[in-house]
A and B are shown apart, each in its own frame.
Chain A
Amino acid sequence: MDSSQLLGITTFTYLFSTILYAVIFIFKAKKLGPAATIFTVIAFLVQTAGLLLRWQESYQLGYGHAPLTNMYESVVFFAWTIIFMYLLIEWKFKTRVIGAFAVPFAFLAMAYGSFASGINREISPLIPALQSNWLLAHVVTCFIGYAAFAVAAALGIMYLIKNMSESRQTTNDETLLGTLPALKIIDDITHKTMVFGFLWLSVGIITGAIWANSAWGTYWSWDPKETWSLITWFIYAITLHARYTRGWGGTRIAWLAIFGFVSVIFTYYGVNFLLSGLHSYGSS
């Protein structure tokens, strides 16, 4: 068994998890709840093992670095943090329907990493610029933030869907949307998740700045990736202020959660492909 097999299996287990949660939601099959949770936890452990194994394999190859250094590895880690975040929320808020909205994000990330063309899935050595402990801190913290924002976006979508239903302020098992938590509760969890993400994104930007400073003597150089992370940060700062000081809530916050996550995706992914990066993270 090697890490690529384990991570390959993970993609399918997350698909199956998604289906389980969707079935629970759509067919109100509450009995399946514990099974979905247990299955997702196992899938999560398999992925954890895959990541650890990949880490170990990199040592066997003589490179020796944490599996967080290229697009493939970061997408896999993204999926891992989303599931981690989701399980945390399921445990803390004792609700499973969120799974039908959040787990698909993890599956999509894994599927993208596993099947998209032009993605290098090999374990490759670290170029000099990436040989820093700050890299580890930077990637881990950013992705905890991103995962929280992914879950917040899932909650935002859930909010908007629930908002269309008759039973907005209550839960009842009669109708499909009735099984979703009451709007007030979704709103509250969305906010808490965004707050959590904001803290970690801040730490992520800061550790990135420290890394940049130790690698080439400038903690901030306004390159597109940095700038987009700051734009994302502004969006969430606006969201938190609008809510905290101007009492925004509900639909607006749900849209902002979705909108913020679009910015996250652009920061993480779009910048690399759509904008001409001036930054030579790799070249020196």
Chain B
Amino acid sequence: MNKKNPLFAFFASVKLALFTLFLLAVTSIIGTVIPQKETLQYYVKNYGETTANVFQVLSIPDMYNSWWFLSLLTLLSVNLIICSLDRFPGVWKQIHADNLATDLSRLKKMRLSQNWESDKAESVLAGELTHSLAAKGWKAEQRTRDNSLLLFAQKGAMTRTGVYVVHASILVIFLGAIIGELYGFKGSIMLPETKTTGSIFAFDTQKSIDLGFEVRCNRFGIDFYDNGMPKAYRSDLTVLEDGKVILEKRIVVNDPLTYKGITFYQSSYQPYEDFLLTVTDQETGTAETAIMGFQQPQDLTVHGAKIGVINANAMGQTISNMKIWFDDDQGPASTFWLDEGDQVTVERPGKKYTIAGKQMYATGLQVAKDPGVWVVYIGCGMMILGLFIAFFMSHRRIWLVLNKEGGTTTVLMSGSANKNKNGFEQTFAALAEQLSAKKSDQG
């Protein structure tokens, strides 16, 4: 790429990045102050007609999906890509630089440097130094330069890429979001107990979306704490394909069911005024479930009996118990109270039944397919990793120049780090002390 191209320079600049980030931060506020995705009437009512019209023109009611907000995100992405293209090659070169070819006079001028002398021969000393460095995890290479012997060791060269991992992670997250937008959907369904559905409704368009399989809600229930607060909302779901049961799972909030990439989340519920009664013959195990209206008895064909709810107590919309009437034409009918969600054994002449009763509910399921979510998560992982590398790791380099001067060998040790310079200064000092001490404790 031509680096002198002004357009390239524009998109590669950090100034643009600061500007874009600033605009994103400021404009993002709008959608937190003005409620999003309301109806036109809502905005007219709350802001007046003129303002509502301006909102429409500027897509304020759905600003995070508006052309201008998405353009800002695109600008940020282009900025990131071009900026990386501009700088990364240089960083890569630095990582793979031949540090043994470094200009020796530069080493003398480094901020961190130290000198000492040894009476050992150059090559012997070099061997010892290499050995001591290795003990500290520094793998040294050496080369003869003019009249000197140069040793070089480094740590964390690759950490220079940390920032690029962070920047790439943002693009990966965007990519995941786009994949989800293109190939996924978000919808919901209010599914009454005992009912089965093969489709759901899209959030935005309310259009029906075919699942490609069927889901049945067998049962919905709420558990309460002693103080009356809800403890759990749960739905027993069954996945069916061609009428065959594939999968059964009890879902609760925070523990959804996933099948073929489509996930069902417990999100709401709706109580009905109907009852759901299940009568089981204890001997044969045959069971029949009936959806009952209040005081509307029904025939149970399997058992050849009749059942009805003749009374009930409710708190608000929630039934607490019900009075059941049951008759199988074998003597007088049975009537009894049953707590909501409970079951009892009813003895009839020659037979025993289990009768379970509950209020009927529909479970509100949020349904989502998002094939991009793993890409987003990978991006998130990259971001954390990259931030950690960028912030807390550094590229540290050490050079040792050995020179023969008369009977002694002089050593110049220099070092540099691209980050956390104070920390490296201490490491360097400690290392220098150790390396220079070698000559005295052996000689």
CB of B25 within 8 A of CB of A215, answer: no
By a CB distance below 8 angstroms, the chain B residues around A34 are: none
CB of A129 within 8 A of CB of B253, answer: yes
CB of B28 within 8 A of CB of A231, answer: yes
CB of B186 within 8 A of CB of A222, answer: no
Question: Which one, A195, A217, A224, contacts B263 given CB within 8 A?
Answer: A217
Q: Does B115 reach chain A (CB closer than 8 Å)? A: no
Q: Identify the closest chain A residue to B30 (Cβ).
A: A227
| Nearest CB of A to B62, in Å | 10
By a CB distance below 8 angstroms, the chain A residues around B391 are: 195-196, 198-199
Q: Identify the closest chain B residue to A245 (Cβ).
A: B14
Q: Known contacts A217-B370, A222-B36; is A202 also within 8 Å of B254 by CB?
A: no
Q: Does A63 reach chain B (CB closer than 8 Å)? A: yes
CB of A284 within 8 A of CB of B253, answer: yes
Give the complex CA separation of A152 and B319 in angstroms.
Answer: 55
Q: Does A271 reach chain B (CB closer than 8 Å)? A: yes
By a CB distance below 8 angstroms, the chain B residues around A216 are: 265, 267, 366
By a CB distance below 8 angstroms, the chain B residues around A231 are: 25, 28-29
CB of B18 within 8 A of CB of A127, answer: no
Task: Sort chain A's interface into a size bin.
Answer: 35 or more
By a CB distance below 8 angstroms, the chain A residues around B186 are: 217-218
Give the complex CA separation of A135 and B432 in angstroms.
Answer: 48
Question: Which one, A195, A198, A218, A235, contacts B25 given CB within 8 A?
Answer: A235
| Nearest CB of A to B31, in Å | 6
Task: Sort chain B's interface into a size bin.
Answer: 35 or more
CB of B21 within 8 A of CB of A234, answer: yes
By a CB distance below 8 angstroms, the chain B residues around A127 are: 229-230
CB of B231 within 8 A of CB of A128, answer: yes
Q: Does A118 reach chain B (CB closer than 8 Å)? A: no
Q: Does B290 reach chain A (CB closer than 8 Å)? A: no
CB of A125 within 8 A of CB of B225, answer: yes
Give the complex CA separation of A124 and B227 in angstroms.
Answer: 9
Q: Does B35 reach chain A (CB closer than 8 Å)? A: yes
By a CB distance below 8 angstroms, the chain B residues around A275 are: 32-33
By a CB distance below 8 angstroms, the chain A residues around B18 are: 238, 241-242, 246
By a CB distance below 8 angstroms, the chain A residues around B130 are: none
Q: Does A175 reach chain B (CB closer than 8 Å)? A: no
Interface string of A223-244 (1 = CB under 8 A from B): 0100110110011011001100
The residue in A131, A228, A230, A284 that gathers the most chain B C-beta atoms within 10 A of its C-beta is A284
| Nearest CB of B to A202, in Å | 6
Q: Which residues between 321 and 370 of chain B lie within 8 Å of chain A, taking CB atoms? A: 364, 366-368, 370
Interface string of B150-179 (1 = CB under 8 A from A): 000000000000000000000000000100
By a CB distance below 8 angstroms, the chain A residues around B387 are: 198-199, 202
Question: Which one, A124, A195, A210, A278, contacts B35 given CB within 8 A?
Answer: A278
CB of A284 within 8 A of CB of B254, answer: no
CB of B64 within 8 A of CB of A284, answer: no
By a CB distance below 8 angstroms, the chain B residues around A246 are: 14-15, 18
Q: Which of B51-59, B207-215, B277-285, B376-384 is near enough to bind chain A?
A: B376-384
User: B residues touching A (Cβ–Cβ < 8 Å)?
Assistant: 14-15, 17-18, 21-22, 24-25, 28-29, 31-33, 35-36, 64, 177, 186, 225-227, 229-233, 252-256, 263, 265-268, 364, 366-368, 370, 373, 376-377, 380, 383-384, 387-388, 391
30 CB < 8 A contacts A-B: A62-B226, A125-B225, A128-B252, A128-B254, A129-B253, A131-B254, A198-B391, A199-B387, A202-B383, A203-B384, A206-B380, A209-B380, A213-B373, A214-B254, A215-B254, A216-B265, A217-B256, A217-B263, A217-B265, A217-B366, A227-B28, A227-B32, A230-B28, A238-B18, A241-B14, A241-B17, A246-B18, A276-B35, A284-B253, A284-B268
User: A residues touching B (Cβ–Cβ < 8 Å)?
Assistant: 62-63, 124-125, 127-129, 131-132, 195-196, 198-199, 202-203, 206, 209-210, 213-220, 222, 224, 227-228, 230-231, 234-235, 237-238, 241-242, 245-246, 271, 275-276, 278, 283-284
